[in-house]
Amino acid sequence: MKQLLTTLMLFLLAFEIHADCAMNGLSIYPSGKIINQNSIFILTGYGGSKDVIIGLNKKYATYLKCGNTKVKLNVLETNVGQFQLTQAVLKPESELVAGLEYQFVIDSLPIYEGLGDYDRTTNNYLPLLFKVSKVRDLEKPKILSQPRLLRKTYVPFGCGPAVYAVFNKSVTDKSGVIVKTKLKNLSTGTETLFYISPYGNEILVGHDMCSGGFDLGYSNHFEVEFSFMDSSGNTTSWTGNKVKFTSPTP
């Protein structure tokens, strides 16, 4: 029964965003519609949308808009994942005003790209809107216990396997957290940094059928460390020993 539940969880995760392994796609963190006055954003591009992420504020102006007011979104860092994902961490150039609603805008997007929900009636993307709360969050996430390896999974699907090393997440924060994950391949010396959203109380390092931050390959040895960042950019850094593990196997 436990194996069946694990398989079902990974099946659902694999199809959560890219049911048919699309050619491109953009997603944003935080996913909720209410944000703090000092919120940050993480924009992730799938497949061909890598060009959009790399081109932010170069080819594609990026900002929040409220009426005639525009707040530029500065790119703090860009991370290229190992399995079809690229992301940028964005911070508003000035603090947002409580009570106002801002639209997240990227100018000059190709016609096949879009932000927000897709309206099949009009064949257009709905505006991506965020309402600003009165909260200005300055508190860092609190780590209750250090992450540890729970299990490794390798589940085959039609277009490829879902491969994960699964760690526990024991962190509290009133604004929610995203996990800054640094993975080092001890077999090659390659280091990869990528932000991943927790799946419940677990951290899944790897990739689903279509995409993911990390490609664990075969017969590789790794070490991983995590830092935890909330939606306002407050970060609690890793303090424990790095966790070592090997590639999941079929």
Q: What is the per-residue pLDDT across 24-40, written as a single tens digit (0 to 9) for each? A: 999 999 999 999 999 99
Q: What is the pLDDT, as a whole number, of residue 16?
A: 43
Task: Please write down the HEC assignment for all residues of 125-191.
Answer: ECCCEEEECCCCCCCCCEECCCCCEEEEEEEEECCEEEEEEEEECCEECCCCEEEEEEEEECCCCCE
For residues 118 and 195, give the distance between their C-alpha atoms in angstroms, rounded to a whole number.
25
The answer to whether residue 9 scores a pLDDT higher than 80 is no
Residue 6 pLDDT level (bands cut at 50, 70, 90):
very low
More confident residue, 16 or 236: 236
- 44 vs 28: CA distance, rounded Å: 6
Q: In one letter, which amino acid is 63?
A: Y
- Average pLDDT in the chain: 90
- 222 Cβ neighbours under 8 A, 6+ residues apart: 165, 183, 184, 185, 186, 216, 244, 245, 246, 247
114-173 pLDDT per residue, tens? 888 888 888 888 899 999 999 999 999 999 998 999 999 999 887 789 999 999 999 999
**Residue 15 clears pLDDT 90, i.e. is over it:** no
Average the pLDDT over each of 86-95, 154-163, 187-196 and give the range with the smallest value.
154-163
Gap between the Cα atoms of 42 and 59, Å rounded: 18
* pLDDT level of residue 106 (50, 70, 90 thresholds): very high
Pair 93, 72: CB distance under 8 Å? yes
Question: Are β-strands 235-236 and 142-143 bridged in parallel, bridged antiparallel, or unpaired?
Answer: unpaired
Query: Residue 157's pLDDT is what?
Result: 84
Model pLDDT for residues 52-86, shown as the tens digit of each residue: 999 999 999 999 999 999 999 999 999 999 999 99
